[in-house]
Structure 1
Amino acid sequence: MKMKTIALAPAVLAAAVLLIAAPASAARGNIGFGFNATDISGFPSGAARLTGGGAYNPGTGFVKSAGGFRCTSNVGQGPLTGCLAGQGVRWDTADVDQVLLPSTTFKCTGAATEPLKTATTDEDTIVLVADFYRAGDGNDESFTAQMIVSADDIAPDIDGIQNVWIQGVGCASAIAHFSS
């Protein structure tokens, strides 16, 4: 009986190692992203420029991101209402409970006739809540809004490639890179 126990010990240990290692190897690591969008627009008024990047993990909800931001024309609707042409310095991940969103619905133009679209966070797309800052507001965010950055076209029903969106401002084509 002692010989059988000794003979089974390596098999049991090997099985335990595999069971413990399987979830660890299945866990996805952080995904890095970077982008540059120069003309985000589409809603009745306003436009913005947005650059930046960071890292996120759809499996854990982790996100850390930041970049540059500027309103290039006055925004008159949505969360960035009151951002005037030339205002804006930076953006970063919002300091709220759920900043990496699993998905969101959006429109690029805000028109009643535009179909509502959905963007989902995955290896090539990030949906998040961001704080936007104007000069003079210091570390107090001026605006908080959702944004999307994707390696792919998020609005195939609109001419051209639309792969960046700011809530209440619109969509734009951007240079965007994702890596894991």
Structure 2
Amino acid sequence: MTHWVNTTHDWAASVDRDHLNAIRADTDRYAPGGVLHLVLEVLAYADDEAESAGERGLCSVTLYDDGSIAIADNGRGTDTRVDEHGNVVKKPVMATKDLRFFDDPSAPLLPDGHPRRGMSVVAALSDWLVHTNRRTNGSWTQRYEHGIPVTSLDPIDSDGSTGTTVHFRPSYGEVVDLTPYLRFPHLDIRSLRKK
């Protein structure tokens, strides 16, 4: 296995089942406030991306009648690398621990006033999640169910854009009014309703 420097996630494994199970066993701790907190966890990644690019990012939040939510940004897309065997490997943001925040008692607070834990909280607490990634070196999509990948990285045609879309259906809770909480320092966010 190729050894890459671990910054936000450990590249050694694509899934940490014990980690995902721990999240599902304590939803009040990891997603206080329910669906709102899950939305804010996703937006925090888009905000990180915009900050690292040194510019304001654009992001949309789309609410669907089936209870699912799609959050799309115009960043560079999730980091994807090729290992020594020529296999495409993506940063395991959905199904492993965020090394920066998950176990840190002083993790930064999201706009709902609760600590940031990472994208794996969203994946673990969703019936399904589809991660679509567009980068200059290729685009793909992958589906998860309760945090576990159920497809491989399926290539999709490039449309000339870059960015990430996270479309998920939370396992519990209802969407509340998001507007008062859509405040991130590096993002312009628009909230949409799609029938």
Q: What TM-score do you get using the length of structure 2 for normalisation?
A: 0.26
Q: Which has the higher contact order (CA 8 A, sep 6+)?
A: 2
**Rg larger for:** 1
Higher helix share: 2
Q: What TM-score do you get using the length of structure 1 for normalisation?
A: 0.27
Higher strand share: 1
